[in-house]
A and B are shown apart, each in its own frame.
Chain A
């Protein structure tokens, strides 16, 4: 009879974390930034049908980086969670905080119990009636959850994107045009190449809309906005 190999829990977790980080680092970056009327999402995504940014509920948006199949299943679970909660209680009781907790629990359990961890990073944003009610959450592959202010980036080279945004100045809440320009510049710094509008996926949580606040912005509209 052969004895099974002993691997220390420490080693096991480290290996898993390394594996997940490697997977995420391969992907492109996504950034969310607060602007005057809500939150702007910009993703480096050449596909115009396989989205990385999505609506979850009236004033909540989701974005996932890493392995598509994995964050897509998390996105769907999030929509089901939100719609069920809104149906059982009321629309105003659906919050990004509870969703972020749910994602954190799920990812944490998968990370510690499954052989293969999820290679994903999740970004959740919620807007309120007033600018100071905006909430941004980043949830890592191991379930670690961070409440961010002003802007947040996920995916490969997200550190570079964040430092580029920090360098761009954060003293005031920018308008939409400035916010978009800053995001594009930050993505350019991270990738080291020119970023063109058709290769971007852009979406908004817009406080000025009635009802559902999520809206996608096409390359054409973004072009007019920047000109």
Chain B
């Protein structure tokens, strides 16, 4: 049980309004790096069993973000794989983290989901304690620190690579941030894609991207990129027409974060498939 008295006595330590730091001080066993990564003292020597376990973990993904005239769209496929098997067809990899930001994650499924959840709580926690939301830049930096804290796990093979998008209320524009495993944060000016199919998606976007795309145009472009990634990469799933499972698409703009309905994504996918089959027949 959570003891209020002990929380009160912890106040001076965790006055920086960070939930991640708070659980690091009070409940270190709940932080991913400590639990998985040998208490921060990671060793690179792994025995065969560990290797086998790691090769079974879900990974492989394509998630991408593209800017358009009013903000950013962020898109993710739904497939999770374990080795050569499909582990899940319905996995969500794109998450709304607060009113003006969303995150998409590529890497080992378990730690990825946990980081997305933790990051969402981190932003909400700050907003509630301080009474104002973090700035867009502040959120991006905080995520970088969380990725950095994950480094011991990376050495054990549990890579988590996020793609962060936010609408910067002050600058009145959408922004995209990518990260490396050490927590390095790099801002992208137009688009980016990460995951095992990231390169294929980037190539497709590069061919067709221009500034100030309209919302339907950007959604169509993002879907085309995801489809070519799904064609080239086994870790990436395209739209599943039999089961009606479509990629997740979220729009982040001045109004907030909202989902593109499955029906709209479905009709866009149909449209793309038709143009494609006309071209190839």
Contact = CB atoms under 8 A, between A and B. Distances in A.
A and B associate: yes
B11 A77 contact: yes
B36 interface: no
B129 interface: yes
A212 B14 CA distance: 24
A151 interface: no
Contacts of A212: 124
B124 A77 contact: no
A76 B129 CA distance: 6
A201 B5 CA distance: 29
Instruction: For chain A, give the interface size range.
Output: 20 to 34
Contact of A103 (B4, B30, B121, B124): B4
Given A51-B131, A73-B11, A87-B117, A79 B4 contact: no
A83 B4 contact: no
Chief secondary structure at chain B's binding surface = helix
B4 A81 contact: yes
Contacts of B117: 87
B259 to A, nearest CB: 12
Given A54-B128, A83-B19, A76 B4 contact: no
Interface of B: 2, 4-5, 7-8, 11, 14, 19, 22-23, 26-27, 30, 117-118, 121, 124-125, 128-129, 131
B250 to A, nearest CB: 15
Contacts of B7: 77, 80-81
18 contacts: A49-B131, A54-B131, A76-B11, A76-B129, A77-B11, A79-B128, A80-B7, A81-B2, A81-B4, A83-B124, A83-B125, A84-B22, A84-B27, A85-B2, A87-B30, A88-B30, A106-B8, A109-B5
Contacts of B19: 80, 83-84, 87
B97 to A, nearest CB: 12
A87 B22 CA distance: 12
A77 B131 contact: no
A102 B117 CA distance: 25
A23 interface: no
B2 A55 contact: no
A105 interface: yes
Nearest to A86: B121
